[in-house]
Amino acid sequence: MSTAPFVYVSYIATTPEQLYSALTDPEETRLYWGHHRNVSDWAVGSPWRHEDYRHHDVVDVVGTVLENTPPRRLALSWAFPADADDPAKHSRVAFDVEPYFDLVRLTVTHDGLEPDSPMLNGAMQGWPMVLSSLKTLLETGQTFAITARRWEHPPE
């Protein structure tokens, strides 16, 4: 049984192409995503890794590219490395990128989350911070200081 999907919508003053690049380019992801980079060739069926920028053997999330229609949609399976071989432990994240007047609407939907799980807790705490920093980066060229470095635990 899974919870209702976690959905986060943001409006960003950028282009779909710039936003898609920020989601998939390892040099850009490290700036706003806790000093991590997202690594893949982004072909459907390919693996992807959310790894520490400096220590590539430190991997926090793994999965498979499920859908990829640049610059409009990217969908990934999402699991802790220890759960990589157990599809029942995988959730799914979809990034939908849509022009909206002179802005871009980013909708992130994280579904298949188990109730009271570490993955659900991480999604609820992490997505708002990461996506807010992404928006700030694309609009100002700066990120939140906390998301430019690796963090282990959110403040209590």
Name the residue ranges covered by the structural domains of the chain: 6-148
Q: What is the CATH number of domain 6-148?
A: 3.30.530.20
**pLDDT for residue 140:** 97
CA torsion, points 56, 96, 16, 146, in degrees to nearest 10?
-40
**pLDDT for residue 10:** 97
**pLDDT for residue 34:** 85
- Residue-wise burial string across 10-29, b where 16 or more C-beta atoms lie within 10 A, e elsewhere: bebebebeebbbbbbeeebb
**pLDDT for residue 4:** 80
**pLDDT for residue 118:** 87
What are 96-145's pLDDT values in tens digits? 999 999 999 999 999 999 888 888 888 888 899 999 999 999 999 998 88
